Amino acid sequence: MFSRAYRIAITVPPLAWVTIFLLVPYLLMFCFSFWSVSSTQTILRSWTLQNYKQLFMKDVYWETLLRSMWIAARVMMFSLALGYPLAYFLSFYAGKRKDLLYQMVIIPLWVSYLVRAYAWKTILGSDGVLNTLLQYAHLTQHPLDFLLYSPFAVVLTLTHIYTPFAFLPIYAALEHIPRNLVEASNDLGASPRQTFWRVIFPLSIPGVVAGATFAFVLSLGDFLAPLLLGGPSGIMISNIVVTLFGAAYNWPLGAAISLCMLVLVVSLLFLSEKLEKKWSFS
Amino acid sequence: MRRDTRKAAGAGWLGAHALIVFCFLYLPIAALIVYSFNGQGVGGFPPRDLTLKWYGILFQDGAIWESVGNSLIVAACAVAIALVFGVPAALALDRAQFPGKALFRRLVLLPLILPGIITGLSLLMLFNRTGTKLSLLTIVLGHGTALISVATTEVFAGLQKLERAQEEASLDLGATYWQTFWRVTLPNLQLSIIGAALLIFTLSMDEIAVSFFLIGRDNTLPLEIWGRLRRGITPEINAISTIIFLFSLTVIVLWYRLRAHGKGSPEIAGELIETGVQGD
């Protein structure tokens, strides 16, 4: 139905843009990761494996990457723990208020990331809202200083930011479950617990996988919350990359780390897609 | 009977859990707003000496308003780029076959799920190699590129609900492809496009991870705020954050009003996230 000219007109411009501004930059990142920096701080465009060698030899990169993954894993677990029961409640028990409550989960998503991270900083600081509240209520005598500038603050803030992301796909999956399956299970004498674990939960797994992927991947690459709230013990892998592209001026090494992150993220996306396909029932 | 009581007990627990999650989601926002009116500055419980002082200081702050202007320009340009390339991309995914289509689809959607640092840095390397000076223009290119994914997802969802027979009829009756596109295809996609534009505008106004690496001399609003945060907490930031929050809230209400007029339109954020993860 559509002529060749029409198809070319709709295909070529976006294809060209995506090639120039996405594909070429990714390839450049790949190239940079095999280049090096001279002692006079110019980038040498001769191929070397030095950056990757350094990446595997120096403990600091490994440790930070593992710590970032551990932070991301905790964010993922907490987001699921908060998001799943919420989605289940909305989908099965909220009745008429369902739509309103759904919008209420979405609204924080529209509030600036930076604003929310900042809000947590004002709450957790030693003169912050929480500490002064605790002292006001005479629950503590001195400000608790482990609240801010710690991995705890980073995990808390990122959980706050990514819980709606985890919630949305789970809610969508729960909403797609045919209600007659649930009724059939009840009619056949299953207890609510059995119905949940044998019918509802297995059918919601694709949503759980999608939500978990979102929370994990996005918090893994975060560098602003750690800078703002993490302190020295909350540094994540992206903070190292930021330093390498800034003050430390070692773009090639930074590119090598970024490329590892890219590969890690894309493999996770691939894996999550496979898992979702495996568990989807339609 | 017993099952019903157990079910009610379950609902009670779930309701309590939901309440806690909502508190967790909204308390920081509430604290932010309350302390923007607090005479004693940020922190200190209970809040006292309610004042509009911080808003007064904010309105006299030239640097902030300059950055707001920059952000508005960037967001408007990002919307333009994302729509000009994102709408055809959705059409292409819907109705053209070409080699590398699967890769193309994945590439377009990737910035949606990829941490911003990777998009930002890869573009920084492009601009470095091509000798492009960093300025608001590079931020516009960054936002435009990252947010094409939003336009494509929204419009693609709209296309799935579009009756192709209308376009066929238009073509059969002698209209050219160009006329059909402007008079049949686009009007039918109106709601998806407006929704995408609103979403892209808001996302661009808030964006910081990509901008962080592509910034030249002129700051966008989030980067201006970021710069001040590094120097310490001041209540003006609460004030500007409150204004941003109200602005976002207005956009959402606008969008729902719009949606109420046209039924069966795509569910904006939810659908976006689903497609973002699934990649198709």
Taking CB atoms and an 8 Å limit, are A6 and B177 in contact across chains?
yes
d(CA B64, CA B58): 8
Average pLDDT by stretches of 10, chain A with 282 residues: 83 93 94 87 84 88 92 97 95 86 84 84 80 79 79 93 93 92 90 90 93 93 90 89 89 93 92 87 62
Q: For residue B171, what is the domain's CATH number? A: 1.10.3720.10
Taking CB atoms and an 8 Å limit, are A109 and B238 in contact across chains?
no
Give residue B276's pLDDT.
46
Domain A57-279, what fold? MetI-like fold (1.10.3720)
Give residue B43's pLDDT.
67
Give residue A16's pLDDT.
94
Residue of B nearest to A1 (CA): B168
d(CA B64, CA B205): 14
Give residue B279's pLDDT.
39
Give residue A3's pLDDT.
81
Taking CB atoms and an 8 Å limit, are B43 and A128 in contact across chains?
yes
Instruction: Using an 8 Å CB-CB cutoff, list chain A residues near B117.
Output: 221, 223, 238, 241-242, 258, 261
Question: Which residue range forms the structural domain that includes residue B94?
Answer: 64-278
Residue B268 in any domain: the answer is yes
Residue B242 in any domain: the answer is yes
- Pair of tokens at residue A232: 């020295």
Give residue B4's pLDDT.
62
Residue B212 in any domain: the answer is yes
d(CA B147, CA B154): 11
Give residue A276's pLDDT.
86
Give residue B254's pLDDT.
80
Residue of B nearest to A114 (CA): B222
CA distance B71 to chain A (A): 13
Give chain B's residues under pLDDT 50.
Answer: 1, 263-266, 276-280
Its ipTM equals 0.88
Residue A34, chain B, CB below 8 Å: the answer is no
Taking CB atoms and an 8 Å limit, are A262 and B114 in contact across chains?
yes
Residue B57 in any domain: the answer is no
Residue A178, chain B, CB below 8 Å: the answer is no
d(CA A25, CA A144): 45
Residue B2 in any domain: the answer is no
Return the residue matching tokens 């926002």. B29
Number of domains in chain B: 1
DSSP label at residue A280? -
Taking CB atoms and an 8 Å limit, are B44 and A104 in contact across chains?
no
Instruction: Using an 8 Å CB-CB cutoff, list chain B residues near A17.
Output: 85, 145, 148
Cis-peptide into B99, omega within 30 deg: no
Q: What is the largest CA-CA distance in chain A?
A: 77
